[in-house]
């Protein structure tokens, strides 16, 4: 029987960003962000296809709501300002007991500004605060250099590459709870107690 995780907060903050649980009203902003980013997302995200629209976004939001309620995944909109959805990030319970995986994508109009790095930092800290979680992982295609830059910048350790369930090569980065204080995350989130 699978263990149901205690969810992290429905809203998290990182410098200049709000991460919040997706809302039904986010369908159109999500579609706009995905459509604006298809050339950059489609090589890495199998769901990012031409014609991505309201139906696909609603299905993602509905599935995300179920997963949250079941304690299997915690999906957040990345929001800048009061309501500009500029990407998505998730904590997913799919890498084994005691661990969560972080996933992320950023609207291409907002890349190169540290959005994914700040969002992943907030999720790593929140994920390691979930009872029973002592490891955070980030997985990405080895050719996706932009995704590789995020865990590297946060102080994750590169693990062995694997082949995922779909047969794709995957790079794995890990951050054990014992290394959180030594990572760059507390400084990035301005959570360092002693300087």
| 79-123 confidence digits (pLDDT tens) | 998 778 999 999 999 999 999 999 999 999 999 999 999 999 999
**Can you give the residue range of the structural domain that contains 104?**
16-188
| 64-78 confidence digits (pLDDT tens) | 999 999 999 999 999
Q: How many domains does the chain have?
A: 1
Pairing of strands 99-106, 135-140: parallel
- The lowest-confidence range among 43-52, 156-165, 173-182, 185-194 is 185-194
In a domain, 171, yes or no: yes
> Does the pLDDT value for residue 3 go beyond 80?
no
In a domain, 146, yes or no: yes
In a domain, 193, yes or no: no
Cα 33 to the center of its chain, rounded Å: 16
CATH number at residue 20: 3.40.630.30
pLDDT band at 192 (very low <50, low <70, confident <90, very high): low
Q: Please, what sign has the CA dihedral across residues 28, 31, 35, 39? A: positive
> Does the pLDDT value for residue 32 go beyond 50?
yes
In a domain, 1, yes or no: no
Phi, psi values for residue 89, rounded to 5° = -150, 155
Average confidence score pLDDT of the chain: 92
Predicted local distance difference test score (pLDDT) of residue 115: 96
Please report, for residues 59, 90, 116, 167, 175, the alpha-carbon distance to residue 147 in angstroms, rounded to integers and kept in the order given: 25, 14, 8, 19, 16
In a domain, 4, yes or no: no
In a domain, 7, yes or no: no
The mean pLDDT of 44-58, rounded to a whole number, is 95
Q: What is the DSSP letter of 109?
A: G
| 7-26 confidence digits (pLDDT tens) | 899 999 999 999 999 999 99
In a domain, 163, yes or no: yes
């Amino acid at each position: 029987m699978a263990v149901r995780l205690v969810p992290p907060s429905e809203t998290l903050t990182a410098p200049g960003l709000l991460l919040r649980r997706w809302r039904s009203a986010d369908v159109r902003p999500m579609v706009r962000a995905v459509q604006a980013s298809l050339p950059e997302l489609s090589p890495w995200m199998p769901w990012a296809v031409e014609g991505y629209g309201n139906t696909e976004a609603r299905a993602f939001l509905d599935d995300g709501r179920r997963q949250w309620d079941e304690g299997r995944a915690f999906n957040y909109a990345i929001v800048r300002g009061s309501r500009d959805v500029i990407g998505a990030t998730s904590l997913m319970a799919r890498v084994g007991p005691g661990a969560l995986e972080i996933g992320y994508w950023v609207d291409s109009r907002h890349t190169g500004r540290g959005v994914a790095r700040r969002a992943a930092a907030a999720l790593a800290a929140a994920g390691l605060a979930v009872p029973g979680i002592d490891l955070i992982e980030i997985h990405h295609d080895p050719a996706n250099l932009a995704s590789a830059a995020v865990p590297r910048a946060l102080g994750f350790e590169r693990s062995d590459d694997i082949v995922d369930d779909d047969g794709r090569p995957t790079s794995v980065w890990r951050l054990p709870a014992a290394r959180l204080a030594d990572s760059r995350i507390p400084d990035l989130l301005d959570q360092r107690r002693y300087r």
